[in-house]
Every structure is written in structure tokens, then in C-alpha cells.
Amino acid sequence: MSETRVAPSPAVINFSMQDRLRTEAAQEPLPAASGPVTKTTQIIAIYGKGGIGKSFSLANLSYMLAQQGKKVLLIGCDPKSDTTALLFGGRSCPTIIETSSKKKLAGEAVAIGDVCFKRDGVFAMELGGPEVGRGCGGRGIIHGFELLEKLGFHDWGFDYVLLDFLGDVVCGGFGLPIARDMCQKVIVVGSNDLQSLYVANNVCSAVEYFRKLGGNVGVAGILINKDDGTGEAQAFAAKAGIPVLAAIPANEDIRRKSANYEIIGRPGTAWASIFESLATNVAEAPPVRPNPLTQDELLGLFSGDAVGRHVVLEPATFADMMGRDEVTKPSLEVVYDAV
């Protein structure tokens, strides 16, 4: 006699699925890796406020790594396309997005030599982005990485791939390396000012958010640029639980040479020791889970005079907005007496 099987009802299936999802969601994410990075290529995303000196720092860091015998690829992910300018002595290189558009119109495929260029052992390229008002910069980044994957990005044999990202743009494309585990670790660039540390803290918050969703990216530390010795960036690093990888001083010689598109991260030069130490720390620093600060904790790093904490918020009134006192108009609402 054959056995009759009864299919479970949709309600039972849905309950079972919800139960599994709840169980999975309740699990704590794995701790951040604390040992040495074992993957052959270290892919590192560098974030910071616009103008904080990411491109300057990365050009000199990548140059120093190359002089130490490492094979380095520097990818600019800023729509301004200025990451590689210092590396190439002020010259701009064709961007991936611009080249892709031109090649598509001509019915040709993009080749590595169209978008990737090298100097003294450093390989570099720019993703680029749309002009103002003509598209989404984040979408441009996504399109750029899609093209890089077609060109064999995951099979390239580099020791380091450094990605230069704006940290003060919050649309999805700029968070791509963190959200999709495209890198092993993140480095934030900041200075002793509130805005740059606000951006650095936001990046730490993004890393922690995606860690809770099962991501694996951690923060390797902070690079302090234009350090004037006041200590706010060091205090931020201590509270956030991330190391200081290096501190580049606010120095007129550095500023002048940077403005003249001169590499200062050369072995044997006056500033070489900073970038030699930075190169070592970038290579060895493990990705850790940061402890993002609250807004009040961030403000607490600065004196009240610097951030205006003595200011009292005064609510606006109708008279402020209209330039006259509020006139009470009779209501047409019908009000019934209680029974």
C-alpha cells in the first residue's frame, strides 16, 4: 500500500523560512581578522574628506612601495580624476569612463594600455566621472569597476591595489569596496579639524554597519595629514580603537613641493622616513572593527570655542517666519457636546 504524502501548507513554509532568517540574524558576526593578511594581493581603500590630502599621500605611498620592490596599482576613484596628477608630474591621464565612451562610439574595445599608465614601477589609472549635473558619480564608479572586471581585475598580479575614494559622498558607488568586500581593509585620512574627523568617523560607521551584516572589511588605521600638533586626530583614533599609521606634519616645504607636483616619498630624501614607516604600517596593520563615536563624543574632542557648543538653539516663531503675529482663524470644525 503506497504512502500518501501531504505537502506542507504555505503558512508552514513561510513560518519555517522566517524562523531560519531570525536565527541567522541573531548570530554575532565573526570577529575581525587579527593575524597577517594572507591573500596575495592586498586591496586597500583609502577614504577621506575632499581636499584632506589623500591623493598626495597615496602618490607618495605608492611610489615608496614601488621603490621597496612591491608591485603597486593606484586607482583614482574620485570624479575630479586628480589622484594620479602628482605621480605623473601634473599631467592628467585618460579616464576609464571617458575612454570607454569614446571606444564604444568607435565600435572598439578598451585595452589595458588605453587606461593604465606607469612611472618608476607604479601602475596607475583613473576611473573618472561625469561632469557636474550630467550624471551620478557613484554610478560612474560602479561602471568603472565593471569594466575593470572585464579587463581581468581579479587576475592581475599586484602586491598592493590602492583605491582612492571620497569619504564625504554617501551614495552607494563610493561605498562599493566596503559593501561588497572588494577590499580587505580601509584606511582613513584625517587632520586635526572637525570636518575631516566627521568624515573619518562616518567611514568607520559604514565599516561597522556592514560588519554587522556579515561583511569582512576592517579599518587598518588613520593617516594624519597636515598635523599641527594639536592632537584631536590622535584622540579620535584612540576613542575609535584604530591605530595611527603615520603623521605628516603641516610643513611649508611639503606644501610647496606638493603644489609643484613633486614626489617627496623617495628613498634618501628629507621626508623619506615618514613614508617608509607608513609603507610598513600599511602592509602590516590588521583590519579591525572600529568603535564609531557619537556626535557628542566627536564634538568633545574639540574645545567649545572651536565648535560652538556654547550656542543655544532658539526655536523660531510664526512671527519670525511671516513678519507678523499669528492670526487665529475661526474653525469650521463641528464640535459635539459629550453625551
Q: In this structure, what CATH number is given to the domain that contains residue 119?
A: 3.40.50.300
On whether residue 187 sits in a domain, the answer given is: yes
Q: Is residue 19 part of a domain?
A: no
The predicted model scores a pTM of 0.78
Told to judge if 168 belongs to the known catalytic residues of this protein, a careful annotator would answer yes
Q: Element (H or E) spanning 185, and its range?
A: strand 185-190
Kindly state the helix (H) or strand (E) to which residue 179 belongs, with its residue range: helix 176-179
Residue 63 is predicted with a pLDDT of: 95
The confidence score (pLDDT) of residue 80 equals: 77
Query: Would residue 198 count as lying in a domain?
Result: yes
Contacts of 80 (CB under 8 A, 6+ apart): 129
Q: Is residue 150 part of a domain?
A: yes
pLDDT at 74: 94
The range of the structural domain enclosing residue 216 comes to: 42-303
Tally of domains in the chain = 1
Owner of C-alpha cell 572637525: 194
Catalytic residue among 159, 168, 193, 228: 168
Active site residue 212: no
Q: What's the CA gap between 58 and 52, in Å, rounded?
A: 12
pLDDT score, position 241 = 96
pLDDT in tens, 33-79: 555 555 588 999 999 988 898 899 999 999 999 999 999 999 988 77
169 lies in a domain?
A: yes
Hunting for cell 538653539 — which residue is that? 313
Pinpoint the alpha helices (H) of 6-160. 10-26, 54-67, 96-105, 112-115, 137-150
The per-residue DSSP string of 207-234 comes to HHHHHHTT---EEEEEEEEEE-S--HHH
Q: How far is CA 144 from CA 34, 318, 334, in A?
A: 32, 50, 63
Question: If you search the block for the grid coordinates 541567522, which residue do you land on?
Answer: 24
Residue 157 lies inside a defined structural domain of this protein? yes
Beta bridge partners of 161: 43, 73
Q: Which residues pair with 74 in a beta bridge?
A: 124, 162
Find the catalytic residue in 71, 80, 103, 118.
80
Retrieve residue 287's grid coordinates: 583590519
- With beta carbons less than 8 A apart as the criterion, state whether 138 and 171 touch: yes
Cβ contact 125:162 at 8 Å = no
Instruction: Give CA–CA dist 276/267, Å, rounded.
Output: 8
Question: Are the C-beta atoms of residues 118 and 72 closer than 8 Å to each other?
Answer: no
* Residues in the chain, pLDDT under 70: 1-17, 20-21, 24-39, 129-139, 168-173, 304-309, 335, 338-339
Q: Is residue 18 part of a domain?
A: no
pLDDT at position 79 is 76
Q: Does residue 49 have an active-site annotation?
A: yes
The reported pLDDT for the residue numbered 148 is: 85
Q: Is residue 92 part of a domain?
A: yes
